[in-house]
Structure 1
Amino acid sequence: MIRKAEERDASSLAAVGIEVWVNTYLRDGVSPLFADYVLSEFTAQKFRNSIVDPDLAIWVSENRTGIDGFVTVCSTAAPPLADCSPMEITTLYVQPRHQAGGKGGALLRHALDHCRNMGGENVWLKVEAKNHRAIDFYLRHGFTRIGSTDFVIGDQAYENHVMRTNLRHPVD
């Protein structure tokens, strides 16, 4: 089931966020820099604030036990490239053991429908350049790579692809 996030979901969203982020990006162990980042970014309070923020929309995927994924859309993001709208999919996270069941596609469709309903012409996102599984997922769902930007943490920069899709054409 896909539904809008509610304030009561905040701690579950934080836990899923931590799980997916650590599983995806920390391939060689956990340094203090990354541990501090994760524990400061994925907090229940930050999710509570996001849920009530009028510029953000969050949908959750919920199974009989609890939340197993979520997607967040920002309607006022600073575009990283000239051809991007202010509509960004900031996160699309699904627990690894639930990734093959179509939950990511369902969450993405909700996000794209929201952007269309807001009058958007296109929506963009950033994905780590080494995250081939996510890149392939977005390519299959109508996104194209239009450039690059960096995710900077501490004194390190990590390449991210900027991908965009036209909202006038439905995603399969």
Structure 2
Amino acid sequence: MEKIYYFAYGSCMDQVDFTRTIAEFEVLGSAILKNYRLAFTLYGESRYGGVADVVRSLGDEVQGVLYSFAQEELPHLDQREGVHLGKYERIEVDIHFQGKRVRAYTYQVVDKAQQEIAPSAYYAGLMINGMSKFATEEYKKSFTNRLQQGFGLKL
């Protein structure tokens, strides 16, 4: 049973929410995707608002969590992310984890909206909960400020 690495940056950072999709996984810890930024470029019907995406952006970074699980589980994650519907695509990226570069899978939106779409407070809460465990305080604060000022969310 081959294990793969998965970099989560959205609601999958919340371990309880992630277990809806992948029952058995190992939490490896905090990780960083460099030269990308976090954006909300797709409306998620089940999330009632914008859902997270990673967009190439030199000098920026996305903080998240690195998981490991059996490769056989990938179709479940593809299903969750709507790969079959053309919403997200699975990509391979270099993640910075404990001072090393690790090749991992993550997902990005295929057809990005021109303007960012406000996430629901519930979805944002899942992300903030995950960030509490895996992102720096500075990153979490910057994200929360952006949600409040940019989208008018009350968190």
Question: What is the TM-score when the length of structure 2 is the normalising length?
Answer: 0.30
Structure (1 or 2) with the greater strand fraction: 2
- Between structure 1 and structure 2, the one with the greater Rg is 1
Question: What is the TM-score when the length of structure 1 is the normalising length?
Answer: 0.28
Bigger relative contact order, structure 1 or 2 (CA pairs below 8 A, ≥6 apart): 2
Structure (1 or 2) with the greater helix fraction: 1
